[in-house]
């Protein structure tokens, strides 16, 4: 998994201008300004290979970065608010759509997003081992924290008792303000 060499390869303004190539590629996907281009720079240890900005709407084309001469990371425009004209954004939307629909070598998408685990049916509590929601959540935490040092946020809910309703609405409203 080491990056031995990486280079900016090509900027394409249309899906059909992308490299004619059978090397596999991974595209970053996420809101404008979420940090897609910065993440690519961090992955390939090049501070300014992908252009970044404080203002959402910096990346406006499809950008291929070749890693170890064997696969690509692909930087794309983001979705949501962006400091760009309506017509420019319509353009991004049409060529990114073309890219996702037609790019045969696209093998994976890195989705940059805030993740929240919502446990449902926490009113249910069976007798015996593994029957209580707390026990299931503990097991989930133990398993997943072996993989990820920082646990994503999680919340216990029940649609029957309303457990977690206020907490989840608060959480969503905080994400909305992000």
DSSP 17: G
Q: Which residues of this protein are in contact with ligand GTP, per CB under 6 A?
A: 30, 32-38, 52-54, 56-59, 77-78
Nearer to ligand GTP, 50 or 156 (CB): 50
End-to-end CA distance of the chain: 33
Q: Which of 2, 110, 109, 5 is nearest to 67 (CA)?
A: 5
Q: In whole angstroms, what is the distance from residue 110 CA to residue 76 CA?
A: 11
Contact of residue 33 among Mg ion, ligand GTP, none (CB under 5-8 Å per partner type): ligand GTP
Answer with the entry of ligand GTP, Mg ion, none that 54 interacts with (C-beta below 5 to 8 A by kind): ligand GTP
CB of 162 to Mg ion, least distance (A): 41
CA distance 128 to 119: 19
Residue with Cβ nearer ligand GTP (113 or 144): 113
Which CB atom, from 78 or from 133, has the smaller least distance to ligand GTP?
78
Could you give the CA distance from residue 65 to residue 51 in angstroms, rounded to a whole number? 12
Could you tell which of ligand GTP, Mg ion, none binds residue 38, using a CB distance below 5 to 8 A set by kind? Answer: ligand GTP
Chain CA centroid to CA 164, Å: 26
Report the residue from 9, 37, 72, 133 that binds Mg ion according to the rule CB under 5 A: 37
């Amino acid at each position: 998994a080491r990056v031995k060499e990486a280079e900016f390869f090509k900027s394409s303004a249309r899906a059909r201008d992308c490299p004619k190539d059978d090397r596999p590629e991974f595209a970053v996907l996420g809101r404008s300004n979420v940090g897609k281009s910065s993440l690519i720079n961090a992955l390939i240890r090049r501070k300014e290979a992908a252009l970044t900005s404080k203002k959402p709407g910096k990346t406006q084309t499809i950008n291929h970065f070749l890693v170890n001469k064997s696969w690509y990371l692909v930087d794309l425009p983001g979705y949501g608010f962006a400091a760009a004209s309506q017509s420019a954004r319509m353009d991004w939307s049409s060529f990114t759509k073309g890219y996702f629909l037609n790019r045969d070598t696209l093998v994976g998408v890195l989705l940059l997003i805030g993740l929240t685990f919502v446990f449902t049916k926490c009113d249910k509590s069976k007798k015996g081992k593994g029957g209580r929601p707390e026990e299931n959540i503990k097991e989930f935490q133990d398993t997943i924290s072996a993989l990820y040092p920082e646990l994503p946020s999680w919340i216990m809910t029940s649609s029957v008792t309303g457990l977690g309703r206020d907490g989840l609405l608060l959480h969503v409203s905080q994400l909305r303000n992000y």
